[in-house]
Amino acid sequence: MAHKPFHLQRRPTTKKNKYIYYVQFYDEVEKRCTAISSGQTSKAAAERWAIDRLKKGFLPLNSHLTFDRYASKWWIWGECAYIKGKLARGAFISKGYAATERSYLLNHLIPHFGNHRIANITPLMVDQFILDLYDHAALSPTTINNILKCLKVMMREAERLQYIPIDPTRNIVALKEKPRERTFLSLDEVEMLFAPKTVPLVWDERWNHYTFNLIAATTGMRMGEIQGLQVQHVQDNYIEIVQSWARRHGLKEPKWNSTRTVPIPTKVSTLVKRIIDDLPYRELDDFVFQSRSSRDKPINNRVILDHLYKAFRKIGISENERTRRNITFHSWRHFFNTLCRGRVPDAKLQRVTGHKSVRMLEHYTGFQLDDYREIISIQEEIL
């Protein structure tokens, strides 16, 4: 390159006789990029500012950068610069989240915006894209909003890195969502499911599935957290939640990195120990709820749901009724939370359930069973 890697422009400001130097860097094909304010009033200072930016790794990209080129490595674990930066700064991003965002990108955003230059994407284009999805795609408003959130993250980052002057998604408003109300089982239905005499009839003697669901009902644990339980995590009267199982990625951190200790009632402790005693392998890192096909995997999600929904049918909850009431495995979490609310201080309950909205990281506080006497009382009531 015969010339300097940037070009300076002197522009007047609103103040009389005052000028600011703007910098146009050259891209990889020797074209000038959009001018950026250096904030400097002298040419020498502006040159030092530009040189310093280049030394710090600023990579000027041309105004012809297309969305598909910009998006080429976005959300790919281990390759996405955005994810690497977030993790380095202490943010929590899971592989599952990244995979979901990548699917939104590949299935919706790149097909629509791929050939457009990112500098030419306007708020009108984004708004029309969202409304077209709403009118013509078989997607819920929640899914469309998630696609929009993915685009917002990417365009906000493009503005931060000064690839574009203004984020075109900044003032785009999300669609109104219509979430289905999630109901849960009544106490009478819970009693029909978990009364010990019903295990042969309702659960076909499958004590592992009976116990798996009983843990969820009495602790509010997520399915993946119970799947991720290993022998070493089960103590006499509590469970240590330090990991979760994801279908695509295997073991990972719990959602929102919510590692925690959860009390369990005596009956649950006895049942879990029975499950462990019956395992063909009982090393400390073996799963408590092992898959029949592989020691290295827990029970499959589909198998868990099939046995639960079969149990529902045997106590009189048909598939149509279950669908109408929107009862799923996750309903156990709603059941436990609802039963505890108002009877257990929110801060203490959220320490057990691991909800993101609570700032309850008592990092150096030891587990004391007496701290959870209200929750233990409710667990015994469920049983």
- Residue whose token pair is 């009839």: 201
What's the mean pLDDT in 138-160? Answer: 94
Q: Among 123, 141, 160, identify where a domain stops.
A: 160
Instruction: Please provide the average confidence, as pLDDT, over all residues in the chain.
Output: 87
Q: What pLDDT is recorded for position 229?
A: 96
Q: What pLDDT is recorded for position 361?
A: 30
* Same domain flag for 216 and 335: yes
Express each pLDDT in 37-80 by its tens digit: 899 999 999 999 999 888 876 666 555 789 999 999 999 999 99
- Segments forming the whole domain that contains residue 244: 187-382
Per the model's pLDDT, the better-predicted residue between 30 and 62 turns out to be 30
Q: Kindly state whether residue 375 falls inside one of the protein's structural domains.
A: yes
Looking at the chain, how many residues does it have? Answer: 383
What lies within 8 Å, CB to CB, of 47 at 6+ separation is: 8
Q: Kindly state whether residue 23 falls inside one of the protein's structural domains.
A: yes
Q: What pLDDT is recorded for position 295?
A: 87
Q: What pLDDT is recorded for position 360?
A: 34
What's the mean pLDDT in 76-87? Answer: 93
Q: Is the pLDDT of residue 364 over 50?
A: no
Q: Is the pLDDT of residue 30 over 80?
A: no
Per the model's pLDDT, the better-predicted residue between 356 and 138 turns out to be 138
pLDDT band at 8 (very low <50, low <70, confident <90, very high): very high
* Same domain flag for 203 and 286: yes
Q: What residues are paired with 22 via a beta bridge?
A: 9, 37
Give the dihedral sign, CA 332/335/340/346: positive
* Same domain flag for 227 and 365: yes
Q: What is the pTM of this model?
A: 0.67
